Chain A
Amino acid sequence: MIFSVVRVAVYVLGIVGTSMAVPLAVACIEGERRMAGVFLSLMIAGWAAAGLFLLRGRRRSQVFDVRNAFGVVGGIWIAVCLFGALPFALSGYFASFTDAVFESVSGFTTTGASVLAEVESLPRSLNLWRCQTHWLGGMGVIALAVALIPLLGVGGFRLIKAETSGPTKSKFTAFVSNTAKTLWLIYCLLTVADAALLHWAGLDVIDAVAHAFSTIGTGGFSTRNASLGSFALPLVEWITFAFMLLASVNFAVHYRLFTGRFSEVWRDTELRALVVIVVAAIAGIFAIRAFAAADLSATFRTTAFQVASILSTTGFMTCDYLTWLPGAQCILLALFFIGGSSGSTAGGVKVIRWTILAKQLRNELSRILHPHEVISLSVNGVTGREVFVPVVATFVFVYLLLVMVTAFFGTLSGLDLFTSFTAALTMVGNVGPAFGSLGPTSNFGAIMPALKWWYAFAMLAGRLEIYTLLFLIGRMR
């Protein structure tokens, strides 16, 4: 068993290693010799390990049972994060291995919280790799592995389920590998479209690709210190606004869009709720900010951008929201709790969970007035979804518990209460920036190393929706 787990993990590392061809090419073009060497050697190392396992062992399709699936997925994610930290550690730009791991975990979990204050001096290839980790982690390395390695076969769906987000998970094609391929195809199409538009809007090719990786993965790393705001191109901001929202929509919805099943798209409860939240948040914040604003169009643009950025858990910045009126900040804080859609690249509690709980509230009120009533709950126009209520409630409980524990550790290591609490939200929700001393213009470089390790764990737990890591830590028969 251990052998097959390690084998799958090494194959995934081989895939991640192969993807280093992209920053390697950039390093060659830009003449960054040291980085070229790092990427090349890691690529070869990945291939060598994978090749070793290709020769050894039978090429039998590997089926993981439910218990093992969580362990496999958790293990692979940890391995990938450590492997992905190597370019950072070997580049010499990071003060410690801890920093490199934090950056890598922050990348693969699409959080986008950096330990670096200065990123513009990094080699361009390394900056691209930072954004590329978002892209790999956004759709999920497991899904990528299932799409590419036939070995995982039937059991692959179990692995993908342990990796993707949301209370309901379904294959939308008969073969799981087709589902994974379709997901990645849509993902790639969105990325290419975003990169092309960004390039057309004025970014150079490397910056366009890096920001497309970061946007579609809903990560938040940028190649500039002042994030997207430094380009001062409104068009870039609007393009990114649109793609951040697209990336925070369930990819099953994208699939239906691509296959022309529009009626099903509109029936999607989560999509409707997402639209309502986005519109309401933008309207609310804009109404508050408009009082004190001189330039209304810029205010509207930054408001819309920041709402999309936080709700999609991307974490790009075009302005410092700590300077907003407290009411506007409060609405933004509420978005930290919500997150994107299930089955998207976004993190957070997910819109569908809150929607289900909101519907349950209505049912609960009705049940108080009518104690004998039997009520159903419908999602996407399908009734009988009340079975998800305890599932969702439990998840929200565990989620908030993890937030509280993380906040507690933050205060222990010297952060003030508000900073620590919002940092916990941003870590578990994979958003990126927090409030207070870890706000959008600050970075995570100065916090204690122990806290960095805990934050890395919190980010990973948030990305894998907590249960996967819980199974990895505790043993339950």
Chain B
Amino acid sequence: MKVFIIGAGFTGIALSQTLIAEKNSVTLIDNDPERVRHASDQLDCTVMEANGNDLEVLESAGIASADAIVTLTEDDEINMITCSLVDAVYPNILKIARVRNYAYYDAAAAARRRLKVAFPAGRPLYGIDVMLNPDVEVAEAVTRAMAYGAVGSVIELEDGYVLATVEIGEASPLAGLTVGHLAEVPGWHFIIASIGSGENSLLPNGNSLIKAGESISVVLKEGDVSVLAKLTCSPAAKARRVVVFGADRPGMLVAERQVVGARRELWRRLFGARPSACRELVIVDRDQELCQKAARRFPEARILCGDVTDEALLAEERLTEADLLAAVSGNPELNLVTAAYLRSRGVKKAVALTANVSYGDIARKLGIDVAVPVRGTVVDGIMSHLRGRNVWSVHSICENRFMLVEGRVAEGARFAGLALSEAAASGGFLVLLYRKDGGGMLQLPSGDTVLSPGAHVVIIAASDDHETLHKFFL
């Protein structure tokens, strides 16, 4: 794959490194000589000193044969205009723009949704296939990290399927069985995606044993969630209390995702299904003005203005009894300290937003369950769109040990035309859902299912297992 990257800042370089490591051809363009020198010193790719929004420059660098262009300059407007320019001449190139200004991003996203309804076959807005907002990416990553932990939750797939994570209770008929024997349990007709949580999670095979107290991720129809809850006898969901520390943009986006979940929960409760989102949301920030904004935005949440590490506040609001803390303020060091402190005081799980990937180890040593690196998250977000045109979405789950990939089996891919049992012989992945090209609803696959080219699949694989992805989608 040939990728153009405009802007050799931190994200540009990190993205180049990731792409180069996966053996892609990268052309990096920046107009700052210092940055160009720095980049060419450490990257094995073409680095040009030029204006990235000049079409002639891009053409001389060979944009005509590129597969994708990613614009990552400091300037949102340049990022967007460059993509539009390229789109005007080369509409088939995948264009990804980073847009930091949330107002631009939000307005464009709303317009994009309406465009899609009005003109399903039309060109994307401004010719930009994907707009990425760092705050949104971070919020998504934090929300996923929150969802896949103490709070146990569901990821929505297509056609009413969900990936639900539940804990196996002591009384469950499933406890002590191997995966191969599950089919004998009356009422069981689901597929297990992973067993265990976090570091210790693994992909199941027929001999994997299911133990009480462990959690399993299961693919099933949304309506079957209550059946699953009965079979697993998972401990009754207690009043769940989520504390979000930081009321600026990422905090608001994280809170929004919790609140939307809570609003939807009402419907689930009406239909007798298991509630999934948080029951009580607390947002803490030191800044009075941010707190006021938060209070106006989330009347259903409790907004506290104060220092979250203040002993008096903790006692007053019983924050230490919370089930989950998301430290997502604009100060990464404070996030680490806060998360570690509250975790030590009894909060069941803590997620912290940090600056670098390298902080992850420190965070774990401090007792923080998940550290979400800001910069790494943006690169991940871009990478999920650069897996080729056949990959639609990539979710990291089980604290980044696995990825959930939705996509289309490519023409001429290694696995195309093989029966699932043959393909699975190489191991290391599971096909969770399957749909023939152009036909019907997603279904749970069996060993005889043939992976015909163009079929829609949802697979789970180890996060670093790019080879499997190639075999499906390239």
A residues lining the B interface (CB < 8 Å): 370-376, 378, 383-384
A-B contact pairs, 15 of them (CB 8 A): A370-B302, A370-B304, A370-B317, A371-B316, A372-B305, A372-B313, A372-B317, A373-B303, A374-B295, A374-B303, A374-B304, A375-B295, A376-B292, A376-B299, A384-B292
A373 touches B299 (CB 8 A): no
When distances are taken between beta carbons in the complex, the residues of chain A under 8 Å from B306 are 372
When distances are taken between beta carbons in the complex, the residues of chain A under 8 Å from B292 are 374, 376, 384
Q: Does B264 contact A (CB under 8 A)?
A: no
What is the distance, in angstroms, from B403's C-beta to the closest C-beta of chain A?
A: 39
User: Which has the most chain A C-beta neighbours within 10 Å: B292, B294, B296, B317?
Assistant: B296
What is the distance, in angstroms, from A28's C-beta to the closest C-beta of chain B?
A: 60
What is the distance, in angstroms, from A353's C-beta to the closest C-beta of chain B?
A: 20
8 Å CB contact of B316 from A370, A374, A375, A378? A370
B316 touches A383 (CB 8 A): no
Chain A, residue nearest B284 (CB) = A372
Distance, CA A373 to CA B319, complexed state (A): 13
Chain A, residue nearest B317 (CB) = A370
Q: Does B288 contact A (CB under 8 A)?
A: yes
Q: Does B410 contact A (CB under 8 A)?
A: no
When distances are taken between beta carbons in the complex, the residues of chain B under 8 Å from A372 are 304-306, 313, 316-317
Distance, CA A383 to CA B316, complexed state (A): 26
Chain A, residue nearest B303 (CB) = A374
Chain B, residue nearest A366 (CB) = B302
Chain A, residue nearest B283 (CB) = A374
Q: Does B291 contact A (CB under 8 A)?
A: yes
When distances are taken between beta carbons in the complex, the residues of chain B under 8 Å from A378 are 299
8 Å CB contact of A383 from B288, B296, B302? B296
A383 touches B299 (CB 8 A): yes
Q: Does B38 contact A (CB under 8 A)?
A: no
Q: Does B297 contact A (CB under 8 A)?
A: yes
When distances are taken between beta carbons in the complex, the residues of chain B under 8 Å from A374 are 288, 291-292, 294-295, 303-305
Known: A372-B316, A383-B295. 19 other contacts (CB 8 A): A370-B317, A372-B304, A372-B305, A373-B302, A373-B304, A373-B305, A374-B288, A374-B292, A374-B295, A374-B303, A374-B304, A375-B295, A376-B296, A376-B299, A378-B299, A383-B296, A383-B297, A383-B299, A384-B292
User: Which has the most chain B C-beta neighbours within 10 Å: A374, A376, A384?
Assistant: A374
What is the distance, in angstroms, from A168's C-beta to the closest C-beta of chain B?
A: 16
Chain A, residue nearest B302 (CB) = A373
When distances are taken between beta carbons in the complex, the residues of chain B under 8 Å from A375 are 295, 303
Distance, CA A375 to CA B295, complexed state (A): 5
Chain A, residue nearest B290 (CB) = A374
What is the distance, in angstroms, from A366's C-beta to the closest C-beta of chain B?
A: 8
When distances are taken between beta carbons in the complex, the residues of chain B under 8 Å from A371 are 316
When distances are taken between beta carbons in the complex, the residues of chain A under 8 Å from B316 are 370-372
| Residue-wise interface mask of B (270-300) relative to A, using a CB-CB cutoff of 8 A (1 in contact, 0 not) | 0000000000000000001001101111010
- The B interface is mostly helix, strand or loop, or mixed, namely helix
Chain B, residue nearest A376 (CB) = B295
Distance, CA A376 to CA B317, complexed state (A): 18
What is the distance, in angstroms, from B303's C-beta to the closest C-beta of chain A?
A: 4
| Residue-wise interface mask of B (217-236) relative to A, using a CB-CB cutoff of 8 A (1 in contact, 0 not) | 00000000000000000000
What is the distance, in angstroms, from B59's C-beta to the closest C-beta of chain A?
A: 49
Distance, CA A372 to CA B288, complexed state (A): 10
What is the distance, in angstroms, from A351's C-beta to the closest C-beta of chain B?
A: 21
Distance, CA A228 to CA B302, complexed state (A): 52
What is the distance, in angstroms, from B280's C-beta to the closest C-beta of chain A?
A: 12
When distances are taken between beta carbons in the complex, the residues of chain B under 8 Å from A373 are 302-305
User: Which has the most chain B C-beta neighbours within 10 Å: A370, A373, A383?
Assistant: A373
Distance, CA A25 to CA B353, complexed state (A): 80
What is the distance, in angstroms, from A385's C-beta to the closest C-beta of chain B?
A: 9
When distances are taken between beta carbons in the complex, the residues of chain A under 8 Å from B288 are 374
When distances are taken between beta carbons in the complex, the residues of chain A under 8 Å from B299 are 376, 378, 383
When distances are taken between beta carbons in the complex, the residues of chain B under 8 Å from A370 are 302, 304, 316-317
User: Which has the most chain A C-beta neighbours within 10 Å: B295, B302, B303, B304?
Assistant: B295
When distances are taken between beta carbons in the complex, the residues of chain A under 8 Å from B313 are 372
When distances are taken between beta carbons in the complex, the residues of chain A under 8 Å from B291 are 374
Chain B, residue nearest A381 (CB) = B299
What is the distance, in angstroms, from A62's C-beta to the closest C-beta of chain B?
A: 38
What is the distance, in angstroms, from B136's C-beta to the closest C-beta of chain A?
A: 23
User: Which has the most chain B C-beta neighbours within 10 Å: A370, A371, A372, A373?
Assistant: A372
What is the distance, in angstroms, from A217's C-beta to the closest C-beta of chain B?
A: 38
Chain B, residue nearest A382 (CB) = B296
When distances are taken between beta carbons in the complex, the residues of chain A under 8 Å from B305 are 372-374
Chain B, residue nearest A385 (CB) = B296
What is the distance, in angstroms, from B288's C-beta to the closest C-beta of chain A?
A: 7
What is the distance, in angstroms, from B285's C-beta to the closest C-beta of chain A?
A: 9
What is the distance, in angstroms, from B394's C-beta to the closest C-beta of chain A?
A: 36
What is the distance, in angstroms, from B246's C-beta to the closest C-beta of chain A?
A: 14
Chain A, residue nearest B288 (CB) = A374
Chain A, residue nearest B285 (CB) = A374
> What 3 A-B pairs are tightest by C-beta distance, nearest first?
A376-B295, A374-B291, A383-B296
When distances are taken between beta carbons in the complex, the residues of chain B under 8 Å from A376 are 292, 295-296, 299
What is the distance, in angstroms, from A388's C-beta to the closest C-beta of chain B?
A: 13
What is the distance, in angstroms, from B281's C-beta to the closest C-beta of chain A?
A: 13
Chain A, residue nearest B304 (CB) = A372
| Residue-wise interface mask of B (161-205) relative to A, using a CB-CB cutoff of 8 A (1 in contact, 0 not) | 000000000000000000000000000000000000000000000
What is the distance, in angstroms, from B329's C-beta to the closest C-beta of chain A?
A: 16
Distance, CA A371 to CA B306, complexed state (A): 10
Distance, CA A383 to CA B292, complexed state (A): 10
What is the distance, in angstroms, from A383's C-beta to the closest C-beta of chain B?
A: 4
Distance, CA A383 to CA B295, complexed state (A): 8
Distance, CA A376 to CA B296, complexed state (A): 5
What is the distance, in angstroms, from B33's C-beta to the closest C-beta of chain A?
A: 49
Distance, CA A439 to CA B168, complexed state (A): 74
Distance, CA A372 to CA B243, complexed state (A): 15
Distance, CA A376 to CA B297, complexed state (A): 9
Distance, CA A373 to CA B313, complexed state (A): 10
Distance, CA A384 to CA B316, complexed state (A): 25
When distances are taken between beta carbons in the complex, the residues of chain B under 8 Å from A384 are 292, 296
| Residue-wise interface mask of B (108-122) relative to A, using a CB-CB cutoff of 8 A (1 in contact, 0 not) | 000000000000000
What is the distance, in angstroms, from B243's C-beta to the closest C-beta of chain A?
A: 13
Distance, CA A176 to CA B327, complexed state (A): 49
What is the distance, in angstroms, from A253's C-beta to the closest C-beta of chain B?
A: 23
Distance, CA A287 to CA B304, complexed state (A): 45
Distance, CA A376 to CA B292, complexed state (A): 7
What is the distance, in angstroms, from B335's C-beta to the closest C-beta of chain A?
A: 20
What is the distance, in angstroms, from B428's C-beta to the closest C-beta of chain A?
A: 50
What is the distance, in angstroms, from A243's C-beta to the closest C-beta of chain B?
A: 36
Distance, CA A374 to CA B304, complexed state (A): 6
Chain B, residue nearest A384 (CB) = B296
Distance, CA A374 to CA B299, complexed state (A): 10
What is the distance, in angstroms, from A325's C-beta to the closest C-beta of chain B?
A: 41
What is the distance, in angstroms, from A400's C-beta to the closest C-beta of chain B?
A: 29
Distance, CA A177 to CA B302, complexed state (A): 43
Chain A, residue nearest B291 (CB) = A374
What is the distance, in angstroms, from B443's C-beta to the closest C-beta of chain A?
A: 41
When distances are taken between beta carbons in the complex, the residues of chain B under 8 Å from A383 are 295-297, 299
When distances are taken between beta carbons in the complex, the residues of chain A under 8 Å from B296 are 376, 383-384
When distances are taken between beta carbons in the complex, the residues of chain A under 8 Å from B304 are 370, 372-374
What is the distance, in angstroms, from B140's C-beta to the closest C-beta of chain A?
A: 25
What is the distance, in angstroms, from A191's C-beta to the closest C-beta of chain B?
A: 40
Distance, CA A213 to CA B292, complexed state (A): 46
What is the distance, in angstroms, from B306's C-beta to the closest C-beta of chain A?
A: 4
Distance, CA A375 to CA B294, complexed state (A): 9
Chain B, residue nearest A387 (CB) = B292
Distance, CA A375 to CA B306, complexed state (A): 14
What is the distance, in angstroms, from A128's C-beta to the closest C-beta of chain B?
A: 50
What is the distance, in angstroms, from A382's C-beta to the closest C-beta of chain B?
A: 9
Q: Which B residues from 299 to 334 make CB contacts under 8 A with A?
A: 299, 302-306, 313, 316-317
What is the distance, in angstroms, from B297's C-beta to the closest C-beta of chain A?
A: 7
Distance, CA A378 to CA B304, complexed state (A): 18
When distances are taken between beta carbons in the complex, the residues of chain A under 8 Å from B295 are 374-376, 383
